[in-house]
Structure 1
Amino acid sequence: MGQAEESIQEAVKQEHNDMCTGASSQSSSGKKKLIVKMMILILLPIFALIALAISDLITTVSRSINATVTRRNVRLSQQVGSLIHSLQRERDMTALYISSLLEENGPERKTFLVDTYPMTDEVLQSLDDWPVKGTMAYKKFKNKQTFMSFLFKYRLTLDNQDTTIYEVIHFYTDAIQIFIDWFNGSVGKSGGQGVWETLVAYQLLIVGMEQIGIERTLGAVFFTQGGFQQTDYLWYMEKLQVGESNIKSSKKYSSLVSSILNERVSQVKYDFQTTISKMRKEISRNDVNRLPSWQEGTWWFDNMTLYIDTLHEIQSRMAVIILSKLDEAVKTDTACLLTDISIMVVVVIIGIVIFKAVESLTSSIQDYTLILADITKGLKTEKKHTDTLLYQMLPKSVAESLKRHQHVKAESYCSATIMFSDIVEFTRICSESTPFQVVDMLNNVYTIFDNYIDKYDVYKVETIGDAYMVASGIPKRNGNKHGSEIALLALDLTHCIKGVGIPHKPGYSMTIRVGIHTGAVVAGIVGSKMPRYCLFGETVNMASRMESTGLPNRIQISETAHAILSKIGGFLMNTRGEIHIKGRGIVLTYWLIKKEAPRSVNQPGSNQNFQLPGQCIL
């Protein structure tokens, strides 16, 4: 009942849990489950680390691929930007040519227009890529040859008198818009790789250049025709505002636009921006009385061309800067990729080493578990033996309290029934027998008595020599049932003892005396080295007097025992009469004869919850 017993309890409890769950370490399935559990526990953080390394590797690869795609799209946008710039120039020169056909020297000015065609064709032929299937540009023009043929056919129709400036503008603007949409679609899908602000400014700049290019065309028409109609005026003002708004937004997203523009302006001999500003104000006034002027239209065209060329140069330089940053990003991502691969390889190697180590450790633990399991089984068996002996010495509830190191207080019982028995002429039998024969005889008798005890709600208090003491109603209270339990046991013992002989005395019949008394009693633990559960009180003495003053093979009961059995019913009892009891004087006693048929519960007096004289109701 100390630390050793607690260890035994824990070991047995664990073994019991393993057996209940089917996970005993000795079974094949238990070994597999144990290995799986330990591997999951140990390798889970390693798998998490590998997952993080793989995730980081995938992110780096994705970023590197995105940077490469963005770089390719930006490089392509340089060529597309040059093509758009050439188409804008050809559009504006064509519109200027159409507006001058009514003048005397107008047809001769076609030479300026024709000079722009080879420039556009050269830029178109230099394109390294073309829109893929699914894009609007591909649906309109499947390849460069289709677009070049389309452009060539239109150039041949320019001398047709039915061609108008607005048709020219719309023709080229629609074609340019196809390439702008292609550019926005390709660059817009890129992740940016840290240069998204510059990419946005780059896109806004290209869109703004297109709007300003249309403004250049309409402004040239204004000066060569001597004014605008209301519709043309609104069209011009729209392109002016949208174009400049995109240029200003581009400056906000990237300071490169302003710095490169200021650098370019400082290199020009005169301030073309001031000239453009003045001419824009003149166009905005839209004086209907002004005269057509080819010279003013050309001057406007040249200044706006210088402005648009400057913007195109800004676009080209921004593309170079973006490509440079993307190249650095690709290099950085490549270095990170190599680092991530190295980390992942190291993690995998460490994981394999740990896996092998854990597998070896698990095998050793399982071997040790088998040894512990054998020891546990032995401890469990010994514990059962210990508990069996302990419960024979003490009541089970009391023994459990002592094993938990709890103090067991003495307890008072208002009503309990005690039985004493002894062997008639035991002293003479002992004098005629050897000690070993006496021990064998008593062991034989008490073994039979113990088998009957298991049938009833009674507790064997102790045996001293031939004295056999049994009680009911303690330590477990059972109402008034204790009287009938002891009575039935006493009847069984007096009946069975008739068939018990003495091995070393053939033909000798053994007899016993039995005494029963009911009353109050106090029970408690006595001693610490070898604790005993003892009963105290006058009830014990009275029960002993009932046995010592009885007769062989007779059951003498006291008046209180007679009263409780009468209330219970079903027992035949005869009056013995008054006898002298030491310490009590003259008392009335009875003989318990036999068990009769049980009384009906509806008969008067069948209620068992009655009160004995001077006793409390339980």
Structure 2
Amino acid sequence: MAPRNGSCVTEAGSIRSLSSEDMTAAAKSRRKKSCWARATDPARKTGRRLQLLQLLALPFIPILALIIQTATTLHEILIYRQEVSEIETQVTIATDLGKVVTRMQLERSEVAFFIYTNGSTLRSNLTQRFAITDQALNNMTTWPLVSVPRDDEEKAQKNDILSKEAFQARLEDFRKKIYSEGSSIAEVMAWYTSVNAAMLDHLTNQIKETDNSGVWRYLIAFKNLLRSIESLGIASVYGINYFGRGTLPNDNYISYVRHEALGYDLLNGSLTYVPTLKRLYAELTRSMPDYDRIKSRRDEILKNQKRMISVDDAIAYFDSMATYIDELRKLQRELRHMIKEYVNKNLKDATNKEVAGIAILAIVLLISPVIIMLVRTAVGTIQIYASNLAEKARELKKEKKKSDSLLFQMLPPSVAQQLKQTQQVPAEYYEAVTVYFSDIVGFTEIAAENSPLEVVTFLNSIYKLFDARIECYDVYKVETIGDSYMVASGLPVRNGDKHVSEIATMALDLLAASSVFQVPKRPGERLQIRSGAHTGPVVAGIVGSKMPRYCLFGDTVNTASRMESTGEALRIHISLEMKKALDEVGGFKMEHRGLVDVKGKGMMDTYWLECKDGGIARAAELDVPTFFEDVRPVFMRRLREEGTL
């Protein structure tokens, strides 16, 4: 054989060489479809009906989704409206309860002032103040169960939880006690503070802080403002004590500081949640003539320096704090008005959204029949076109699979895919691959003794067997020229150091498989092949445009060819480089041949590959009689069937 400086890859080792019989079987298998695929085929009457139902059902999906969405939105709007209405009801109840708390706060202040002055001042006003509180109690439509302290002899026990009537009775008893027994200021503060705290706790627990809208900010501000007024009212009672008694005991002073700081902190919180109140509060403080005096008196109380007892100062402080707290109650009423406006606005928005949702739902229900009719008309046209298109698509797919099968036989799959996608495959350098060559000993004489058709049949049977055997290995079938058979491993997909062992095992396998062949017209004589292999670097790339080939170039190809041509029958001739690579892998037995004069290379030290430890583990055994029932090429059998031969 002539030396080669390049050769072309025709098929990847992982893709089996497809014969004409294989192509025919593959075509038949592709014709088989699943039951569902046949049922939905637009070329069939059943398939057209199914597709018509599918396309008619398609418009119902967005229509149904829109109906569900609208219904869900309407449901959410109704729930939201109910929540807003509940908030409105809660705030209304809270306002009524707040009035009672306000009256109780004012009553607490006047009663405390009455006790501080030992009944010498404002005694005539208590009856009127009690009547105002009773009126606020009678106006309440709902009443929380309030925890009220028990009598003196039962202080160690728990408080009573009273109804409205029981609370009024207990309140009346407490008022009589103020006149008759001269209650202490601590007892008065404890009783009124406990009642107001219970009412405020009930109020704040009943008002829900919803996050469905921005009303929660107003609600928190409303709660904080109520508690701020309560804390400042308690602090003012201790302030009256300071001016009426000249000083505050340590416990009372601590209570004043705590309640005064808590009151202003809650007030600042309300102003933060509703910034509009800041402007109103600023105007309030500017319009109050005694606001600066209130600040100075607060600073005086915080110092708690002993001073002269002055009922006039206590009255003035009481009046100024009452005026200041009344102004804060104006803020409370303004905040109540804001909540009402906000709730009304949200209710109006909810109504508008509800009307819009109902209108959308009605429009959808009216238009949907028209859409269905239009879709049904369009489907009929589409089905006619789809029927023709499906037939053409099947034909195109069938032809594409044929062309792809042929392409994958001519080129490695990875290279073929890259060539189809980018229209070019750049040449690539491979540091280490193993190239294998084999040819038939005495093929020239065999060809001379047989007819051309017999020679073709003989070669076809050999290559068919070889192609089946190399399927078991990670190799690429490069080409067949006459009786020459070329295989490579390690490209186009690199496989590390496996290429050497893959080629070596494959060579032993092909050598063993070739022994089943009998030479035509030579009874008893078996086929003999001569093999050679070499390991080294190569350059590979696509050559040509009309009939592109994946070709290998480099001295490695030439050396592998020389190993085969200088070898012997039924032996595998390998180079020193391949022998060293096999030694690193291990598991192969080699025999030293010695120096051989290789054309173009000079003297080379070469080896015979003898066998593999443990034998060759074949992936599949061949049924030789079945395999060789008819090894003639398909075109010859077709000609015989047609009577040409």
For the superposition of Structure 1 and Structure 2, which TM-score range results when normalised by the shorter chain? Answer: 0.5 to 0.7
Match of 2:88?
Answer: 71
Q: What is the 5 A alignment of 1:15-94?
A: 16-19=32-35, 23=39, 38=55, 43-94=60-111
Deviation at 1:163, TM superposition (A): 2.5
Shift of 1:235: 0.9
Contact 1:15 1:24 in 2 (8 A): no
The equivalent residue for 1:279 is 297
> Is 1:123 aligned to residue 108 of structure 2?
no
Give the AA of the match of 1:477. I
Sort the Cα spacing of 1:247 and 1:15 in 2 relative to 1 into closer, same or farther, 3 A: same
Deviation at 1:364, TM superposition (A): 8.1
- Offset, 1:369: 8.5
Q: Tell me the equivalent position of 2:558.
A: none
In 2, distance between residues paired with 1:13 and 1:45? Answer: 40
Tell me how far apart the structure 1 counterparts of residues 172 and 461 of structure 2 sit (CA, whole Å): 117
* Structural mapping, 1:569-584, within 5 Å: none
Counterpart of 1:306 (choices 323, 343, 349) is 323
State the TM-score, normalizing by the size of structure 1.
Answer: 0.55
C-alpha distance in structure 1 between counterparts of 2:82 and 2:363, whole Å: 25
Which residue in 1 is equivalent to 2:150? none
* Alignment partner, residue 631 of structure 2: none
- In 2, distance between residues paired with 1:325 and 1:225? 47
Residue 210 (structure 2) aligned to one of 190, 212, 224: 190
User: Residues 212 and 11 from structure 1, CA distance in 2 versus in 1: closer, same or farther, beyond 3 angstroms?
Assistant: farther
Amino acid of the structure 2 residue aligned with 1:123: A
Residue 171 of structure 2 corresponds to residue 151 of structure 1? yes
2:69 counterpart of 1:110: no
- CA shift for structure 1 position 318: 1.7
In 2, are the aligned partners of 1:212 and 1:240 still within 8 Å (CA)? yes
AA aligned opposite 2:168: M
Structure 1 CA distance, aligned partners of 2:88 and 2:167?
26
| Aligned pair partner of 1:477 in 453, 462, 468 | 462
- CA deviations on 1:508-532 (whole Å, 9 max, x unpaired) are xxxxxxxxxxxx799xxxxxxxxxx
Q: Which runs of structure 2 are paired with 1:504-583 in the superposition (5 Å)?
A: 561-567=520-526
Is the contact between residue 419 and residue 470 of structure 1 (CA under 8 Å) also seen in structure 2? Answer: no
Contact 1:88/1:213 (CA < 8 Å) preserved in 2? yes
How far apart, in 1, do the equivalents of 2:76 and 2:407 lie? 63
Aligned CA distance change for structure 1 residues 306 and 10 (closer, same or farther; 3 Å): farther
Helix, strand or coil for the counterpart of 1:64? helix
**Matching of residue 336 in structure 1 with residue 349 in structure 2:** no
TM-aligned CA deviation for residue 402 of structure 1: 11
CA–CA distance in structure 1, aligned partners of residues 284 and 56 of structure 2: 69
The higher-RCO structure (CA 8 Å, 6+ apart) is: 2
TM-score (norm 2): 0.53
Partner residue of 1:455? none
> Post-superposition shift, 1:131?
4.2
- For the pair 1:293 / 2:278, whether they are aligned, the reply is no
Cα separation, 2, equivalents of 1:286 and 1:405: 104
The answer to whether the 8 Å contact 1:86/1:123 transfers is yes
Residue 332 of structure 2 is matched in structure 1 by 315
CA distance in 2, matches of 1:11, 1:33: 28
TM alignment of 1:172-321, pairs within 5 A: 172-191=192-211, 193-264=213-284, 271-288=289-306, 290-321=307-338
Q: Per the alignment, in what secondary structure is the counterpart of residue 228 of structure 1?
A: coil
Aligned-partner Cα distance in 2 for 1:78–1:64:
21
Amino acid at match of 1:225: R
Tell me the number of residue pairs that the alignment of Structure 1 and Structure 2 aligns: 418
Q: Distance in 1 between matches of 2:74 and 2:465?
A: 83
Q: 2-side partners of 1:227 and 1:291: how far apart?
A: 9
C-alpha distance in 1 between matches for 2:169 and 2:27: 94
List per-residue Cα deviations over 1:205-236 (Å, max 9, x = no partner). Answer: 21111111001111112222232111111111
What is the root-mean-square deviation in Å for CA atoms of aligned residues? 5.1
Q: Secondary structure of 1:322's match?
A: helix
The CA distance in 1 between the partners of 2:260 and 2:58, in whole Å, is 69
Q: Structure 1 pair 239/54, CA: closer, same or farther in 2 (3 Å)?
A: same
Question: How far 1:155 moved relative to its partner?
Answer: 2.0
Aligned equivalents of 2:27, 2:365: Cα separation in 1: 39
Contact 1:201/1:249, CA 8 A, preserved across alignment? yes
Q: Partner of 1:477: helix, strand, or coil? A: helix
- 1:95 and 2:108 aligned: no
What's the counterpart of residue 550 of structure 2? none
State how far apart, in whole Å, the 2-side matches of 1:256 and 1:265 are. Answer: 15
Indicate the larger mover: 191-200 or 237-246.
191-200
Contact between 2:115 and 2:182, CA under 8 Å: does it hold in 1? no
Q: Confirm or deny: 8 A CA contact 2:246 2:310 kept in the other structure.
A: yes
Counterpart code for 1:16: K
* AA matched with 1:118: A
Q: Deviations over 1:111-161 (max 9, x none)?
A: 311211121121122223344999xxxx96564333323322322322343
* Residue-by-residue CA offset, 1:456-477 (whole Å, 9 max, x unaligned): xxxx97xxxxxxx897335453
Name stretches of at least 5 consecutive residues in structure 2 with no aligned partner: 1-24, 148-158, 412-437, 467-481, 485-517, 528-568, 573-645
Residues 191 and 226 of structure 1: CA distance in aligned 2, closer, same or farther (over 3 Å): same
Give the Å deviation of 1:18.
Answer: 3.7
CA distance in 1, matches of 2:354, 2:342: 18
CA 263–408 in structure 1, closer or farther in 2 if over 3 Å, else same: closer
CA contact (8 A) 2:107 2:130 kept: yes
**Shift in alpha-carbon separation, 1:53–1:417, aligned structure 2, 3 A:** farther
Secondary structure, counterpart of 2:251 in structure 1? helix
- Give the Cα separation in 2 of the matches to 1:35 and 1:19: 18
Q: Is the 8 A contact 1:198 1:322 kept in 2?
A: yes
Contact 2:146/2:161 (<8 A) preserved: no
Q: Which amino acid aligns with 1:68?
A: S
Q: Is the 8 A contact 2:231 2:259 kept in 1?
A: yes
Once residues 236 and 98 of structure 2 are traced to their aligned partners in structure 1, the CA distance between those partners, rounded to angstroms, is 17
Cα distance in 2 for residues equivalent to 1:265 and 1:401 = 93
Could you list the runs of 5+ residues in structure 1 that have no partner in the other structure? 1-8, 388-398, 422-459, 462-468, 482-519, 523-558, 569-607, 612-618
> In 2 relative to 1, CA 403–295 (structure 1 residues): closer, same or farther, beyond 3 Å?
closer
Asked whether the equivalents of residues 209 and 216 of structure 2 are also in contact (C-alpha less than 8 Å), the reply is: no
Q: Secondary structure at the match of 1:158?
A: helix
Measured in 1, the distance between the counterparts of 2:281 and 2:460 equals 107
Inter-CA distance 131–159: structure 2 relative to 1 (3 Å threshold): closer
Which structure is larger by alpha-carbon Rg, 1 or 2? 1
Structure 1 residues 355 and 413: CA distance shift in structure 2, 3 A: farther
SS of the residue aligned with 2:264? helix
